[in-house]
Amino acid sequence: MRTELTQARLSGIKTELLAVLAADNQTAKGPDAKAEPQLLTSDAAIIAAAAAVLAGGEFKAGANETLLLHAPAGLAAKRLLIVGLGKLAKIKVSSVRNAAGTAVRFAKPRGLKDLAFALPEADPLPAAACARAAVEGAFVGDFDPDTYRSDRKDQSLASFTVAAPAAADKQSLQAAFDEGVIVGESQNFVRSMVNEPGNKLTPTVLGERAAAMAKEVGLECNVYSTEKLHELKMGAFWSVSQGSAEPPALIVLRYEPAGVADGPVLGLVGKGITFDTGGISIKPSADMEKMKYDMAGGATMIGAMRTIALLKPKVRVIGIVCAAENMPDGKAQKPGDVQTAMSGKTIEIINTDAEGRLVLADGLAYAKQLGATHLIDAATLTGACVVALGMVNAGVFSNDEETYAKFAAGLEVSGEKFWRLPLGDEYAEMIKSDIGDIKNTGGRWGGASTAAEFLHTFAEDTPWIHLDIAGVAWVETAQPYIAKGPSGIAMRSIVEWVRSFQ
């Protein structure tokens, strides 16, 4: 998709589709109060073209609601699309991101290839932040998961133009716009990997894709396999992969910015289970096909490293992805087995389907060995987190308030939804083992927190954040701004967390 930034007069832009934003500025209260849609533009020709239809009450300006006008009078555009943001008092920059995705997804099935998107003229929405969000949203909206359809029709948008107010600072607009292109492309890079079936994206292939990306953007990359796991004594990681005919992949990416020789080193660790049957504790067959996305945390870290390489923050970063298949053959680990992790801690295997925390245990230990001073991991880790938060928020845990505060502040930029869940000695007590140091599950109750405490055992006192993205890594029902399928969740937030250290 070709992207462009302009500050031209909106009514003079020649395009197949011009999208403008509106919000509900309803002031009256009570059951009889009606929506009062207000266009967020000062362009008189657009206001005049839409006046009659807005006055008719058909359009309420609800979030991502759309209204199309053909051949609007006084405009160079062939069509005018009005996209709602919801209540004026509640709109955020993230509302603009979703609206841009909505506009793109409106255009695609109609065969429209050229779209101009007008940034809102409204407080408190800064133009630069909206420019970045809009182009991110456009890339998100342009992605579809039907990669392997034999009759697939390319409905991708050819051109997306962000139209900013003439009064906005051009330099800051362009910088934010360029960042949005990088982030949007990287999020779709993540989604393309998560979308792949397990027979196409094995641990080895995931390593190859990471290496190809690293070469393209100038990252150092090493991909190891079985011998390296044994050399490092990664017994927890190896135990997951030992039941599969596919070898594991330990993917290590390094970003070393010029002129930065000291300071923090950030370790990004991702769960890369390219297919999860559950192992000997095999999953029910219903919905097992979705377990191809159990590597979403690993893909997120690969995409984050791509973004970091292109945005060039002044902080050193190491990305580690522990990729494996979890399969139930005669060599697979069994419930009751005891494994020794890289750190030397022993783990009693209660359930072989609690495998993500095993690979992350060794990934976290290895990140510390490589010099990481701060850690963040991402994983589709627990169904318990989905029970707690639904498919709305991802879970976040941390052992360090300052580190968490940086992450939370970045959510204002990323627009992603995370909810902090608790750690604590009570949860740690639930995973103590009678035969070894810890168990890999703590029972039914508090499952997201006991899983996080398991990882805390390996992060130890190193400032650390754990992201449980199980409920939001896959969009179960298509939304106006995003297709059903992989979401690419957490990448934007991780990148903002990294940038907070520069």
Taking CA 154 as the corner, what is the angle to CA 103 and CA 72, rounded to the nearest 5 degrees? 35
DSSP element (H, E) containing 68: strand 66-70
**pLDDT tens-digit profile of 95-131?**
999 999 999 999 999 999 999 999 999 888 999 999 9
Predicted local confidence at residue 28, as pLDDT: 72
CA atoms within 13 A on the CB side of 2: 7
Global pTM value: 0.97
Predicted local confidence at residue 183, as pLDDT: 98
Dihedral class, residue 446 (left if φ above 0, else alpha if ψ from -120 to 50, else beta): left
Instruction: List the chain residues with pLDDT less than 50.
Output: none
Dihedral class, residue 61 (left if φ above 0, else alpha if ψ from -120 to 50, else beta): left
Predicted local confidence at residue 155, as pLDDT: 86
Predicted local confidence at residue 33, as pLDDT: 79
Q: Which one from 357, 406, 439, 499 is the annotated catalytic residue?
A: 357
Helix (H, G, I), strand (E, B) or coil at 83: strand
Predicted local confidence at residue 30, as pLDDT: 75
Q: How far, in whole angstroms, is CA 244 from its chain's centroid?
A: 28
Cβ neighbours for 48, distance < 8 A, ≥ 6 positions apart: 73, 74
CA atoms within 13 A on the CB side of 306: 25
Helices 170-194 and 491-499 cross at an angle (nearest 10°) of: 130
For residues 283 and 368, the answer to whether their CB atoms sit within 8 Å is no
DSSP letter for 370, please: T
Predicted local confidence at residue 282, as pLDDT: 98
Cβ neighbours for 29, distance < 8 A, ≥ 6 positions apart: none
Cβ neighbours for 38, distance < 8 A, ≥ 6 positions apart: 22, 23, 24, 25, 61, 88
Q: Which one from 78, 283, 417, 420 is the annotated catalytic residue?
A: 283
The residues facing 398 across adjacent strands are 465
Q: Is 292 a catalytic residue?
A: no
- The strand order across the sheet containing 438-439 reads 338-340, 346-348, 438-439
For residues 262 and 311, the answer to whether their CB atoms sit within 8 Å is no
Predicted local confidence at residue 93, as pLDDT: 97
Predicted local confidence at residue 343, as pLDDT: 98
Domains present along the chain, CATH in parentheses? 2-166 (3.40.220.10), 191-499 (3.40.630.10)
Helices 401-414 and 491-499 cross at an angle (nearest 10°) of: 120
* CB neighbourhood size of 233 (10 A): 16
The shares of helix, strand and coil residues in the chain, as percent rounded to the nearest 5, are 40, 20, 40
DSSP letter for 289, please: G
* Distance from C-alpha of 403 to C-alpha of 465, rounded to nearest angstrom: 8
Q: Is 110 a catalytic residue?
A: no
- The strand order across the sheet containing 265-276 reads 220-224, 249-255, 316-326, 265-276, 374-379, 464-468, 394-398, 418-420
Nearest partner of 471 among 299, 296, 258, 301, judged by Cα: 296
Nearest partner of 174 among 137, 227, 132, judged by Cα: 132
